[in-house]
Amino acid sequence: MFTTREIFYTTAVPAGIALLILFVAWRPWRRSRPVVRGHWGAPLAAGAAFATAYALFDGEIPAWPPSQARHWLFFIALALTLLGVDDAMPSGWLRLADWLRSEVALLVSGVLVLCLFGSLLSADTWPPPIAARWVVGMTAATHVAWVSAERLSARLPRVAASLVVFVFTSGVAAVTALSGSLVYGRLAGVLSVVAAVAAIVAMLTPAFTLSRGGVTVVVPLAVAILLLGYHLADPGVGITNGALLLSSLLLPWLSRLPPLRRRRAWVRGTVAVVLALLPVTAAVARAGIAFRQAQRQDAAGLQALRTTG
């Protein structure tokens, strides 16, 4: 179970950091739109909140080079924050066309996967053909989720886009926690809190968006946690639950179909959020059932030991 301190580090600390940075970046109390917009705030808020919460959970900053796959998440968060802030700035050195930004996302997704699972690959835990399939598959999943969330954030109503990301990250948090890893669950929970704060700021700021910066940090990190939960948690997330969670970033595209495209923004946004909720609810329900079954089996095993003893 989560302790009071862990709940505080998962909710209040990241919420306070994200809210402060986003308010400074976007200044929602101003009625006139600023010349320089605060797109840089979302990646900085997400990265700072995640890195701070991570260090508080562990009581220290991970050493370099990371000794565990989980420790890579801290440094990946810092790298994605730099990438996101640069992408958000009008004068950033990596200002690229949309199609080229997608290729950069593919490259970064591949590097992310290799960093997370380098120890397994170097230890020959996976035979080469299986390792190649897993690396390609995980890279593709990260890239598709990243690009889909980025483009959804640019096309959906601003509050709905943040809520879709919130639904996805909350699902990752719940499923990983129920599947055997409170560590990954609380880290994903930090990202869901940041997405929730972004939704609140979006309600107050007409120009707010998670695209060009915010998605760059939140979504790849959440997918990385999901991948670690699948391979390293006990008993693990499971392929079906993982696919359901990832589909929550794809199904909202149905809200862009012609019959809905001409509807009001709140209608399209509501449909998009509901479409994201459906697979996430199914994944959390499946994980909850598996969790209760595991608890009953453990209780039965303990009772059998007491009887035989």
Question: Tell me, what's the pLDDT at 33?
Answer: 56
Q: Is 261 helix (H, G, I), strand (E, B) or coil?
A: helix
- Cα angle value 250/255/257 (rounded, 5°): 105
Maximum average pLDDT range among 9-18, 36-45, 226-235: 9-18
Helix (H) or strand (E) holding 95: none
Task: Please report which confidence band the pLDDT of residue 131 belongs to, taking 50, 70 and 90 as the band edges.
Answer: confident
Domain ranges of the chain: 4-245+264-308
Joined tokens for residue 36: 């320089």
Say yes or no to pLDDT of 56 above 60: yes
Question: Tell me, what's the pLDDT at 31?
Answer: 61
Maximum average pLDDT range among 26-30, 125-129, 136-140: 136-140
For residue range 104-122, what is the model confidence (pLDDT) as tens digits?
Answer: 888 889 999 999 888 777 7
Question: Tell me, what's the pLDDT at 142?
Answer: 94
**Contact at 8 Å (CB) between 89 and 57?**
no
Task: Give the closest residue to 184 by CA, choosing from 138, 146, 224, 142.
Answer: 224
- How many Cα atoms occupy the beta-carbon half-sphere of 115 within 13 Å? 21
pTM above 0.85, yes or no: yes
- Cα angle value 105/221/275 (rounded, 5°): 85
